[in-house]
Structure formats: structure tokens, C-alpha cells
Amino acid sequence: MLNQGEIIVYLHGGVYTYGNFNTYHTMLTHLASSLNSPMVYIEYSLSPEHPYPTANNEIFKVYKELQKKYKDYKITVMGDSAGGGLAIALIKDAQKANLSMPASLALISPWIDLKCANDSYETKQALDPILSKDFLYNHALMYSSNNIKEADPSELKFKKFPPVFLLVGTDEVLNDDARNFYTYITPIQKISKFKEYDGQKHVWLFSHIDSKASIEAMEDIKEFISSN
């Protein structure tokens, strides 16, 4: 039986340009089963046809409606890669609108720094077969219509933030995105968690949902969100 009174909102990755429900179906099915919770997948509009802030506005609209219709529900937000950045932006949008924040966030391999300025973009490149600094930065330019600073989640400042769990592989260029955000947010939200998964590439749950590391990650997420 599904947990009553709980909803998980999922924000997919794809450098703001790719991704749909069909490609995420296997991963989301396993996550929903593991977490024993209904999941709302938001298929937001993609760039470059729909640049910033289209996706942000669509996600906020769904979140606002969920808050209205399910006032007594525990709402958790999950996101991977670009979806992690969108989740962080959603917190700022919710605060501006005086809406309740989610109970917690779980962010898998989040892409947070659209400037692509963190050290791991260089130091982890030889280990990462999926992403590169140039590829990410070019998509950041498309998404932001060449105004990266305005669209960049790493530029957002917070005085409060929900409990957040940041999961990242040791072998991905986005390693420092998660690590640096954890360093920034921990003094603001003490219930913050950062975990590296040894030898894992970008969003390893998407690539190998049945692997030992993916099962471990799902159990870790379940433990975190169930306690917040």
C-alpha cells in the first residue's frame, strides 16, 4: 500500500534540452516502488525553444497547485542533473510567493553552477564519459539566452532552506556542484546530507537502476525523506 498523504515531485535532467517521461519510466517506476509513494513527474518545456524562465514557471505552477489541492500532504521534491538546479530555483520561487516549502529535497548529480566554474569540471573530466564542461556550458547559454547569471541556481541566496540530500558519483564533472552547495547550505539548514558513491558516473540510477550503487542510493533516499 502506498504511503498515504505523501507526494514526491520529480524534476528530470537533460541539460534543460532533453528528457521525457518515456526515457525516465524505468527509473521512476523503481523509485516510486522503493519509496512506496505516488510520484508527480513534471514534463516541463525544454530549451532552446523555451528558454529560462519557462521551465521554472511551469514547475512553480504545478507546485502551487499541489499545495492548494493537497494542503495536508507531505510533499518531497526530487531532481537529477538540471532537475536538481530547477528544484533549488523552485525553493526560491516558493519563498517569494510565501508558499510552504517541501518537506525535503533529494538531488541526484545536481547541475547547480551554470557557469561551469567548479574545479571538478576539469579534475574529473577524464573519469566522466557522459558530460564535459563545453557541452554543459553551451547548453547553459541556450537555456539562459546568454544571461547565465540570472538563470544560474548557484547565484541564489537563501536565509532558510528545507532539509536536503545531495547524492553524487565520484567520477563525474558535477561532483563539486553537489559538494559546494552542501558547504553553502549546511550553515542555513543543519539537516543537510552529502554522499559520494564510489566509481559512479552521472545519474547512475538512470543508467543502471538495478546496480548495487543504485539500490544503495534508493535506500539512502528513502531513509532521508522518511525522516524529514
pLDDT higher than threshold 90 for residue 1: no
Average pLDDT taken over every residue of the chain: 96
Region of 212 please: left (phi>0), alpha (psi -120 to 50) or beta.
alpha
Cell of 182: 552542501
Q: Give the helix/strand (H/E) hosting 65.
A: helix 54-69
pLDDT for position 2:
58
- Closest Cα partner for 216 from 177, 176, 169, 171? 169
Q: How does strand 104-108 pair with strand 164-169?
A: parallel
Query: Judging by beta carbons within 10 Å of its beta carbon (0-12, 13-18, 19+), is residue 99 exposed, middle or buried?
Result: middle
Taking only the tens place, the pLDDT of each residue in 63-86 is: 999 999 999 999 999 999 999 999
| Cα–Cα dist 28/143, whole Å | 25
| Cα–Cα dist 21/103, whole Å | 24
pLDDT for position 4:
75
